[in-house]
Structure 1
Amino acid sequence: MVSNKGFSLKDQLFNVEKVRYFAGLFYVADNDFDAEGFEAEVMATMLDLELKARMNLISEVLENYLPTAFPLAAERIHAALPPPLDPTKTDDDFGLFVLGALGEYVARNGLNDLPVALPLLREITKRSSMEFALRHFLNAAQDETMTALEDWVQDDHYHVRRLVSEGTRPTLPWGLKTGLKASDPMPFLDALHADATRFVTRSVANHLNDISKKDPALVVDTLSRWREMESQDKDELDWMTRHALRTLVKKGDKTALALLGYHDQPDISVSDFNISPSVTIGDTGAISFKITASRDENLMVDYVMHFVKANGSTAPRVFKLKKLALKKGQLVTIQKNHRFVKGATTFTHYAGAQRIVLQINGQNFGEADFELT
């Protein structure tokens, strides 16, 4: 039975209605397809599985209902595909996640039939993104797959163009690792950074953010080069730059901050930096301080909480606070209430001595200790 304990992503994306829809696509294309048998076989075990395992199960069961010869199976899949996603949209059009099972099927059965499998992935991704499946091909046949991607960069459908960036990301969530070097997809990103579609440019920015965790210089140099190229709208490239540099900015990387227009040594003074000395988990702590600028300054103001972990050690966590453009001599007072959430599923607070650090343009401008109870 489906759990009633609140929202469940796996049950929203993979349920009996989605499986019935999936089977119905094949039945409409070929009335000999045993849609009822397929649905029953999938549903016999699917609800006991986690999200990604449900997708894999559907692809595995599909093998029992399609021809063994991959070219014949590919014909059946192609005939069953729903209409492509709206090519006039520009963002947030992911398609039905259940169709990802088609990509898993192609990856499981088509690695030895690249001339059939890769064009099929290209078609499926117009309905549901195929970045997970593509990575199997990058690992099994890197040269051939990269050659195909050279053409896909120019595809008329923005989902295909996005796949080139998303599928070659260094650290794709849920995705296989690939043998690609960070620089290998760079020619693709050079082309795609000028795309008119936010769905594509967001992927490019996320791709660069991935790279920044291991090669910050490559990312900063690439963004600087794109500025000089002037192939993308300035506002869009500014957005991409901020999104691509978000990890480096949190780390206080000087070159990243400089590219965004922030001095790594701002001429400011900070006073009266405080946080509530004692806060109960579940309540809020009041943070306050004053900043005075000795010259015109662009400031990126963050704070870093050094939280106590279960083993007694501490771990930093950066929180974005405010962006400021101060004039010489200007004084601002900043106040913030930080809630120490109790019972969150993604993070657990532990009682004890904690520390907060005020970080401005990547530099430490004050510290304070407080107690969580």
Structure 2
Amino acid sequence: MAEPFKNLINAGTVQQAGAHLQRAWPAFDRHHFERLALDGLDALEFKARAMQLANALGATLPAPFAAAADVLEASLAPPIAIDAEGEPTGLSNAQSALGISGWTVWAMGEYVARHGQHDLARALACLHALTQRFSAEFAIRPFLRDQPAAVLATLAQWQHDPSAHVRRLVSEGSRPRLPWGLRLQALVADPSPTLPLLLALQDDPSSYVRRSVANHLNDIAKDHPDLIADWVVRHRRGASAQREALLRHASRGLVKQGHAPTLAAWGLAQGLTGSATLSLDASQARIGEDIGLQVALHSRAPGEQALVIDYAVHHRKANGRSAPKVFKGWKLTLAPGEQRALTKRHSLRPVTTRTLYPGEHRIELQINGQVVAEAVFELLPA
């Protein structure tokens, strides 16, 4: 069995952090820190472990925030290296032994977010260092919420930073809907303050940074779909292969939803010219199993057709109603007159984000955003 994710913060990492903090500040009460951090740790889930570690830092670091920031920075390992593609490579064992890196840094960022609000310049400088050993994407968000103009001005400087970690923080830390992170409601309502940053970073040499830009744009698409459709139209002109890939990733959700302006931006506004059928390999399936989808396509077009084929499963909810969830299918080009058969297995195993309930489920086949066929099956208890 795989090691539980929460164990990435454990007694060993706490003790290592205590040792490095004491190395950075000999007066640090390492034993008190470890007692606080380890109290009931095994019973806590992952985020709660990080927050408890931040509580222990708050109780043991020096009271002046600037002094505490000095200790945190002095306790760190070297920055995580970046490879030729701009991806993090991790630290060697020898480098890791030199200081703190990895998930423990999440707790350090949380400490900065809690205690650095009245010393913004020093807090941001500390996050600049922390993000090169893990990520400060969670910690910077309270500052963006409370002091947006000053933080955005700093991010505008950081977009030119030599470190890919810092440039990624510019995009990732300001995402309106970052998973696990504080939602930035002002940027959900109006994303325009971050658009110049994304424009500057969408051609960044680091794939690590570009992937964050794509995810940021995808966040914006959830509330401002037409803005992202227009972004794709404007920035596809003369786009490199790397930017084209970024724009596809940024608009993936809108394509799956069948958002007409986005489909048009990708040349997918036309529906299928021809016929499509959807059938299932069983009329019933149990929770925990899977079910097979068979799609038959027949083109009646005089030319090639670019098709994005997805399917929506209308899952039954606890109240008996149903709600659709779109899943990726196929992306292909259908030749004139071509007939093609496609198959796929759809998992009916429960996941952490979705509970499955018995009852009738409908599957709709979507081609270029248009529903062209459907089938139903009965989901039985496990």
TM-score w.r.t. length of structure 1: 0.91
More displaced 10-residue stretch of structure 1: 88-97 or 41-50: 88-97
- Partner Cα distance (1:23, 1:272) in 2: 60
Deviation at 1:44, TM superposition (A): 1.2
Partner of 1:257: 263
**Does structure 2 conserve the Cα–Cα contact (< 8 Å) formed by 1:285 and 1:337?**
yes
More displaced 10-residue stretch of structure 1: 220-229 or 291-300: 220-229
- Partner Cα distance (1:60, 1:274) in 2: 53
Deviation at 1:353, TM superposition (A): 1.8
**Does structure 2 conserve the Cα–Cα contact (< 8 Å) formed by 1:297 and 1:326?**
yes
* Corresponding letter in the other structure for 1:360: I
* Corresponding letter in the other structure for 1:45: G
User: Among 5, 10, 30, which residue is 1:9 paired with?
Assistant: 5
- Partner Cα distance (1:328, 1:53) in 2: 58
Note the alpha carbon deviations across 1:104-128, whole angstroms, 9 max, x for none: 1111111111221111111111111
Partner of 1:353: 360
User: Among 104, 118, 121, which residue is 1:115 paired with?
Assistant: 121
* Corresponding letter in the other structure for 2:221: S
Does 2:198 match 1:203? no
Residue 293 and residue 16 in structure 1: after superposition, are their counterparts in 2 closer, same or farther (change >3 A)?
A: same
Residue 271 and residue 47 in structure 1: after superposition, are their counterparts in 2 closer, same or farther (change >3 A)?
A: closer
Partner of 2:182: 176
- Partner Cα distance (1:337, 1:137) in 2: 45
Partner of 1:245: 251
SS at match of 1:131: coil
Deviation at 1:349, TM superposition (A): 2.7
Unaligned 5+ segments in structure 2 are: 91-100
Does 2:43 match 1:48? yes
* Corresponding letter in the other structure for 2:215: N
Partner of 1:328: 336
* Corresponding letter in the other structure for 1:324: L
* Corresponding letter in the other structure for 1:35: R
Partner of 2:146: 140
Partner of 2:200: 191
- Partner Cα distance (1:345, 1:155) in 2: 37
- Partner Cα distance (2:342, 2:317) in 1: 28
Partner of 2:98: none
- Partner Cα distance (2:255, 2:48) in 1: 36
What is the number of residues matched between the two proteins?
Answer: 364
Residue 278 and residue 88 in structure 1: after superposition, are their counterparts in 2 closer, same or farther (change >3 A)?
A: closer
**Does structure 2 conserve the Cα–Cα contact (< 8 Å) formed by 1:275 and 1:368?**
no
Deviation at 1:287, TM superposition (A): 2.0
User: Among 61, 68, 73, which residue is 1:73 paired with?
Assistant: 68
Note the alpha carbon deviations across 1:307-353, whole angstroms, 9 max, x for none: 22222111112121211111111111122233322x55443332222
- Partner Cα distance (2:295, 2:64) in 1: 69
**Does structure 2 conserve the Cα–Cα contact (< 8 Å) formed by 1:20 and 1:39?**
yes
User: Among 221, 231, 240, which residue is 1:222 paired with?
Assistant: 231
SS at match of 2:60: coil
**Does structure 2 conserve the Cα–Cα contact (< 8 Å) formed by 1:107 and 1:136?**
yes
Unaligned 5+ segments in structure 1 are: none
SS at match of 2:139: helix
Q: CA RMSD in A?
A: 2.0
SS at match of 2:162: coil
- Partner Cα distance (2:48, 2:59) in 1: 17
